[in-house]
Amino acid sequence: MQSHAYSPASETIPPSVKVFTWVLIAAGLFFAYVYTFNPGLVFPGAQISDYSSTLGFASTGVRVLGSVAALLISVLFNRPQWLLITLVSRLFIETGDIVVGLVTGGTVMNNVMIGIVATMELWAIVTLVKASR
C-alpha cells in the first residue's frame, strides 16, 4: 500500500522548469520596462503620447510585473502548485494575446513569439503535473 502522506521533499519544482521560470522572470522584467517606459522598442510606431496610450501601456507593464512577482514567489518558496497555477494563468493570457493580435492585425512576429512562449509554458505545465504524480 502506497503512502500519500505529505512530504516537503516531494514538493519540488523540476530543475528544467526552474530554469525556464527564471527566463520568464528576466523576460518579464524587460517587458515590464518596455510597456511602461518605451513600447517603441518592441512595437514599431507605438508611442506614449496621450493619456489612453500611457494608461494602456503602463497597466500592461504593471500586470506583467504581477506575473513576474507570482513566478518569483513560486520559485523562491519552491511551490510547484503555485507555479502551476501561475503558468496556467499565463497560458490563458498568452492565448488571449494571440487572439487579440490576430483580430487587430498585430504583427506576425509578435504572435509567433507569444506562441513559442505559450508552447513552452504548456510544456512546463505538463512537466509539473507529471512530477506531482
Residue pLDDT, tens place only, 38-77? 888 877 788 788 899 889 999 999 999 999 999 999 999 9
Residue pLDDT, tens place only, 77-129? 999 999 999 999 999 999 999 999 899 887 788 889 999 999 999 999 999 99
* Domain segments of the chain as ranges: 14-131
Report the sign of the C-alpha dihedral through residues 130, 72, 60, 46, in that order. Answer: negative
CA distances 118 to 51, 87, 96, Å, are 31, 9, 10
CB 28 within 8 A of CB 67: yes
Number of other residues whose CB lies within 10 A of the CB of residue 121: 23
Alpha-carbon gap, residue 3 to 132, rounded angstroms = 14
